[in-house]
A = this chain, B = another copy of it.
Amino acid sequence: MGVTLKDVAQRAGVSIKTVSNVVHGYEHVTPEMRQRVNKALEELNYQPNLPARYLRKGRVSILALAIPFLTNPYFSDIGKAVINAATARSYTVLIDSTDGERSKETLVINGMYPHLIDGVILSPLALEAEDLQERRVTVPLVLLGERLFNVPYDHVVIDNVAAAKLATQHLISLGRKRIAAIGAQGVSAGDTARLRLQGYREALVEAGMSWNPDLVIRSLEYDRIDGIRAMHQLMELETPPDAVFCFNDLLALGAMRALYEGSYRVPEDVAVIGFDDIKESAFSVPSLSTIAPNKQQIGDLAVSFLLDRIEETYSGPPRQTQAPFQLIVRESTAGRHA
């Protein structure tokens, strides 16, 4: 007990900064330096003195990231991206899962863990603007995604209309005539579905194609099983679609599974495109074309916004920024020899 970074630095014969980098898991440390520091840490039984650190800096160097579902790969990818960005700035990230419930999201913004963390990044699913207006705690907060607009917090989004339009235009460019959409939701649900549906419709209209409500399947949940269910509805139509735009990759992977069970060929009979570019999509059979938001950039921007507030390097009005995205063409639209 009572061992300081300085003690460790002296023992290891390196700078305090190097010790700090190793302790905080900063990546750009040579293996040799890391080994020397780890040896000294172990020999001295170093234990980080968090309260002292807190008193000195007024910070604990811990951020919370609250995501709806831990088991949705899109959100664990975002988690990884936020951890990468925070680690490079010597912050640790703890992850909380809200199940997309309004009560849990409200607890997160109102300081479920005060004194424990320096700031929160929240990807809300159910929170309403009024919940944020009533917020009293001053722990810095950054929002991710399309659930809430025009609230007084820094916010990282992607242009969902343009991204959905790009996905639909890709299907149109393949000569497909009956292009379905899976993942629409009611007007009261999240904005993400509404914006993606808008992009889909705009692409069809601009291509001079009529849009057919029978080809738009609603789904409140976005898991693989929901994609199977939705695809079954489409396969039961008198004339099934020849292409499907799914509002996330899990829906698309479920849709491809349903097509396989129904002995439809992908993409020959039905081309499929998703949204998110989760890892699984590069390895599925066939591999899945998708829209890839730049998740590392989402993480970088969110952490940068948050640390600006925590470290008081920015105190101006709330900022909103868009992370870029790109179309990834794989076998599910281009065929096996893409």
Give which listed residue, B45, B64, B110, B113, contacts A134 with CB less than 8 A: B45
Using a CB-CB cutoff of 8 Å, which residues 103-148 of chain A contact chain B?
103-104, 106-107, 110-116, 131, 134, 136-137
Contact mask for chain A residues 43-84; partner B; CB cutoff 8 A; 1 contact, 0 none = 001011011000000001010100000110100110110010
Interface residues on A, range: 35 or more
CA distance A73 to B70 in the complex (A): 9
The reply on A280 being an interface residue by CB < 8 A is yes
A62 proximity list for chain B (CB < 8 A): 113, 116
Q: Are the CB atoms of B41 and A113 closer together than 8 Å?
A: no
Q: Are the CB atoms of B136 and A102 closer together than 8 Å?
A: no
A228 proximity list for chain B (CB < 8 A): 283
Q: Are the CB atoms of B283 and A224 closer together than 8 Å?
A: yes
A77 proximity list for chain B (CB < 8 A): 71
CA distance A41 to B112 in the complex (A): 14
CA distance A177 to B234 in the complex (A): 43
Q: Are the CB atoms of A107 and B48 closer together than 8 Å?
A: yes
A104 proximity list for chain B (CB < 8 A): 25
Using a CB-CB cutoff of 8 Å, which residues 89-106 of chain A contact chain B?
92-97, 99, 101-104, 106
Give which listed residue, B47, B70, B114, B224, contacts A95 with CB less than 8 A: B70
Which one, A9-17, A254-262, A301-309, is touching chain B? A254-262
Give which listed residue, B95, B116, B260, contacts A113 with CB less than 8 A: B116
Closest beta carbon of chain B to A8's beta carbon, Å: 12
Q: Are the CB atoms of A94 and B96 closer together than 8 Å?
A: yes
Given contacts A83-B70, A285-B284, contact A114 B50 (CB under 8 A): yes
Q: Are the CB atoms of A285 and B283 closer together than 8 Å?
A: no
The reply on A292 being an interface residue by CB < 8 A is no
Minimum CB distance partner of A256 in chain B: B285
Contact mask for chain A residues 226-240; partner B; CB cutoff 8 A; 1 contact, 0 none = 001000000000000
Closest beta carbon of chain B to A132's beta carbon, Å: 12
A114 proximity list for chain B (CB < 8 A): 50-51
The reply on A1 being an interface residue by CB < 8 A is yes
CA distance A186 to B115 in the complex (A): 44
Q: Are the CB atoms of B279 and A47 closer together than 8 Å?
A: no
A180 proximity list for chain B (CB < 8 A): none
Q: Are the CB atoms of B1 and A136 closer together than 8 Å?
A: yes
A254 proximity list for chain B (CB < 8 A): 283
A283 proximity list for chain B (CB < 8 A): 224, 228, 253-254, 257
A253 proximity list for chain B (CB < 8 A): 280, 283
Given contacts A103-B38, A283-B257, contact A70 B79 (CB under 8 A): yes
A224 proximity list for chain B (CB < 8 A): 279-280, 282-283
Given contacts A113-B62, A115-B50, A279-B71, contact A96 B92 (CB under 8 A): yes
The reply on A312 being an interface residue by CB < 8 A is no
The reply on A22 being an interface residue by CB < 8 A is yes
A residues lining the B interface (CB < 8 Å)? 1, 22-23, 25, 34, 38, 41-42, 45, 47-48, 50-51, 60, 62, 64, 70-71, 73, 76-77, 79-80, 83, 92-97, 99, 101-104, 106-107, 110-116, 131, 134, 136-137, 224, 228, 253-254, 256-257, 260, 279-280, 282-285
